[in-house]
Amino acid sequence: MMEIDAESQSDPNFWNDRRKSSKILKEKKALEDGFNNVAVIQRMADDALVLIEFGEAGDEATEKEADGALNELDAKVTELETQRLLSGETDKNSAIVQINAGAGGTEACDWAMMVMRMILRHCDLRNWKAQVVDELEGEGAGIRNATITIDGDFAYGLLKSEIGVHRLVRISPYDSNARRHTSFCSVFVSPVVDEDINIEVKESDLRVDTYRAGGAGGQHVNRTDSAVRMTHMPSGIVVQSQSQRSQIQNRETCMKLLKAKLYEVEMNKRTAESRAIEDSKMDNAFGSQIRSYVLHPYKMVKDTRTLCQSSDPQKVLDGEIAEFSLEYLRQSASGSFKGKGGGGGDDDM
């Protein structure tokens, strides 16, 4: 870290090269965070030991305080373990999340809205800044699809566990006969591409259309006259943004979305062979969901890849998905998953 400080102070051109200086400052921050975390863990452990000693001497109030201190220490260690598992090239990056309702009309659209709310609540819990930049409402209720930009440390690494099909089983609030329904929606997560990752986009390859944002809207969307739709002609990728107040801002958001998509396409090409193997495993399974949320006839959320589960679906739907993310990262690091990656019928978890 001293070498980084020395370089920034001795090189007169350090601040002129924005890409280089940004990269070095990120490295410095990562080192500082590492030292600080070690110090925090040590202090928390020392405090817990003191409380335990007083508790063992018969002080009941201190014993309860010691239990709380140990729980906080455990949570901090879990947080650091999670960060240790996030070693991918783009795991530290912010994220772009796309949610699409599956077949099933109103039921599927309502489920897509619930999943979007779950992810937004999770962002609140982690103090990430989330913004819905595009949203298409469903007929009657919910959403057909939505795009969310999420600005926060390790957002991509912690949310990539959500990539795939999510299944809901419940008594439908839209069925007058109170029958049980199964709904699906898909979630895609892409990393926001940092400036130090070179993704070239030529202006001549773009078609930019502007339009008036329509629909009744929602609390997360500002309806303006400056919506932008951007088409990358060589790849056929289309992105759009209507949440910003100006056309310039929406264009910048579209460029961010497009670069993330192009980066994802390039990474998929590099891993095409292994991805094809994994996709074939998924196709051969009965069902393709990565997680099931059952609200009736019993209450259970279960990840079909890791077999991690919770008996409190409401807690999970309120954004508490960290347990699923951590277990996904642990089993990814080990190179194998306990589950098969697919699911079964309505009664099968």
For the stretch 126-140, pLDDT in tens is 999 999 999 999 988
Same domain for 173 and 218, yes or no, is no
CATH number at residue 266: 3.30.160.20
Distance CA 78, CA 349 (A): 27
Same domain for 249 and 209, yes or no, is yes
Same domain for 78 and 141, yes or no, is no
90 in a structural domain: no
Same domain for 40 and 128, yes or no, is no
Q: At what angle do helices 60-85 and 322-334 cross, to 10 degrees?
A: 50
Is pLDDT at 283 greater than 50 in this prediction? Answer: no
Q: What mean pLDDT is predicted for residues 60-80?
A: 87
Same domain for 306 and 186, yes or no, is yes
Q: Which of 56, 85, 114 is the last residue of a domain?
A: 85
Same domain for 292 and 182, yes or no, is yes
Instruction: Grade residue 229 by pLDDT with cuts at 50, 70 and 90.
Output: very high
345 in a structural domain: no
The overall average pLDDT reported for the chain is: 84
Kindly give, in sequence order, each residue whose CB lies less than 8 Å from that of residue 182, ignoring residues fewer than 6 positions away. 167, 168, 169, 346
CATH number at residue 306: 3.30.70.1660
Is pLDDT at 205 greater than 60 in this prediction? Answer: yes
Same domain for 229 and 182, yes or no, is no
251 in a structural domain: yes
Distance CA 280, CA 269 (A): 16
Look at residue 4 in the predicted model and tell me its pLDDT. 57
145 in a structural domain: yes
125 in a structural domain: yes
Same domain for 167 and 45, yes or no, is no
- When divided into structural domains, the chain yields a total of 3
Q: Which of 153, 193, 151 is nearest to 33 (CA)?
A: 153
Distance CA 104, CA 114 (A): 15
- Kindly state the tokens that stand for 193: 């591409």
Is pLDDT at 18 greater than 80 in this prediction? Answer: no
Q: Which of 85, 118, 134 is the last residue of a domain?
A: 85
Up-side HSE of residue 237: CA atoms within 13 Å toward CB?
20
Q: At what angle do helices 247-270 and 272-284 cross, to 10 degrees?
A: 90
Q: What mean pLDDT is predicted for residues 63-83?
A: 87
Instruction: Grade residue 285 by pLDDT with cuts at 50, 70 and 90.
Output: very low
20 in a structural domain: yes
**Structural domain boundaries enclosing 108:** 95-192+286-334
Q: Which of 54, 85, 116 is the last residue of a domain?
A: 85
